[in-house]
């Protein structure tokens, strides 16, 4: 696990880095509070943080407050390192948002176990976060997580003046699959189609479960002709998918899906994402009406 060590004293930085590395941590160091915040803003930055209280530029307490005030989703476990162990000081440290504190000069064994607690909390937080964002049946993003991510993506595309396509698909005759084979088979079909869609989209795209047997895909930077190509590729991949219902090859089914998509670009009012989603959904509706297993764009 990565750990951020923010400490202005070279002496402490050196001995602590050495110990932490011995314990198997990958240490990222910062020499003051400003640097600590910069390290945290980077992608894949440490979730476990040791913050010295007294540092130049910005002290540990202020770093702590800023981390807690930011809207990031990932949890950061913060241990304040301090020689200010009076009760009032401890309280102001905890008030600033620290999870724990360790007094200087520190006891190695104590630090080791306090870090262990931090790791446990981070792992639990990450697990909860994953559960809160994932659709249990398909493993795709759930509706809420999809829309949160979509919002960020829309802003990013606007900033860089990129188009964005929203695509939806609905498995054809899903009700008759359920009626004929039972809901368990229906679930398997939904799982297989979901992982196929997830496999075929590009790595920048993301897929969510919109509801029932309907999936939604965000394709950043995709214009109309590319969207048409990708939609067709997805449609074919579902059509080709053979779903085996037992270990022998006897019981197998094939399904198809109907697709709708729309393109948002600089001429679109991107502030209204729901409108774009509605258009993609309308595309699915038209594709169904026209005979299913096809793709329809709504402008």
Residue 52 touching Mg ion (CB under 5 A): yes
d(C-alpha 250, C-alpha 259), whole Å: 29
Of the pair 54, 226, the CB lying nearest Mg ion is at 54
Residue 99 touching Mg ion (CB under 5 A): no
> How far is CA 242 from its chain centroid?
30
Q: Minimum distance between the CB of residue 54 and Mg ion, rounded to whole angstroms?
A: 4
Looking up tokens 């991107």 gives 270
Report the DSSP pairing between strands 206-211 and 214-220.
Answer: antiparallel
Pick left, alpha or beta for residue 251 (phi over 0 → left; psi -120 to 50 → alpha; otherwise beta).
Answer: beta
Q: Minimum distance between the CB of residue 77 and Mg ion, rounded to whole angstroms?
A: 20
Give the relative orientation of helices 183-200 and 224-240 as an angle to the nearest 10 degrees: 140
Residues 54-83 within binding reach of Mg ion (CB under 5 A)? 54
Q: Minimum distance between the CB of residue 53 and Mg ion, rounded to whole angstroms?
A: 7
Rg of the chain in Å (alpha carbons): 25
Residue 200 touching Mg ion (CB under 5 A): no
Residue 281 touching Mg ion (CB under 5 A): no
Of the pair 36, 216, the CB lying nearest Mg ion is at 36
d(C-alpha 75, C-alpha 140), whole Å: 22
Q: Which of 125, 151, 213, 282 is catalytic?
A: 213
Residue 245 touching Mg ion (CB under 5 A): no
Q: How many other C-beta atoms lie within 10 A of the C-beta of residue 280?
A: 25
Residues 7-36 within binding reach of Mg ion (CB under 5 A)? 8
Is-catalytic flag, 21?
Answer: no
Residues forming contacts to Mg ion in the complex (CB under 5 A) are 8, 52, 54
Positions annotated as catalytic residues are 213
């Amino acid at each position: 696990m990565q750990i951020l060590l923010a400490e202005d004293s070279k002496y402490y930085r050196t001995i602590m880095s050495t110990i932490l590395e011995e314990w198997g941590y990958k240490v990222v160091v910062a020499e003051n509070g400003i640097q600590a915040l910069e390290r945290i803003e980077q992608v894949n930055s440490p979730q476990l943080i040791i913050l010295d209280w007294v540092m130049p530029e910005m002290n540990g307490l202020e770093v702590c407050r800023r981390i807690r005030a930011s809207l990031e989703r990932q949890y950061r476990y913060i241990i304040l390192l301090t020689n200010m162990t009076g009760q009032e000081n401890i309280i102001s440290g905890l008030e600033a948002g620290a999870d724990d504190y360790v007094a200087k000069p520190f006891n190695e064994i104590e630090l080791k176990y306090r870090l262990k607690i931090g790791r446990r909390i981070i792992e639990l937080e990450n697990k909860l976060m994953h559960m809160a964002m994932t659709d249990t049946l398909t493993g795709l993003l759930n509706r809420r997580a999809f829309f949160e991510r979509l919002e960020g993506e829309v802003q990013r595309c606007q900033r860089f003046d990129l188009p964005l396509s929203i695509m939806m698909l609905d498995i054809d005759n899903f009700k008759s699959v359920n009626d004929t084979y039972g809901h368990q088979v229906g679930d398997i079909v939904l799982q297989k189609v979901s992982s196929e869609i997830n496999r075929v989209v590009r790595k920048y795209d993301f897929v969510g479960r919109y509801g029932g047997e309907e999936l939604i895909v965000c394709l950043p930077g995709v214009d109309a002709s590319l969207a048409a190509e990708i939609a067709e590729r997805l449609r074919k991949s579902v059509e080709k998918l053979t779903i085996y219902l037992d270990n022998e090859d006897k019981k197998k089914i094939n399904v198809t899906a109907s697709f709708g998509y729309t393109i948002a670009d600089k001429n679109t009012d991107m502030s209204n994402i729901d409108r774009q989603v509605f258009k993609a959904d309308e595309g699915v509706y038209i594709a169904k009406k026209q005979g299913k297993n096809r793709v329809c764009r709504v402008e």
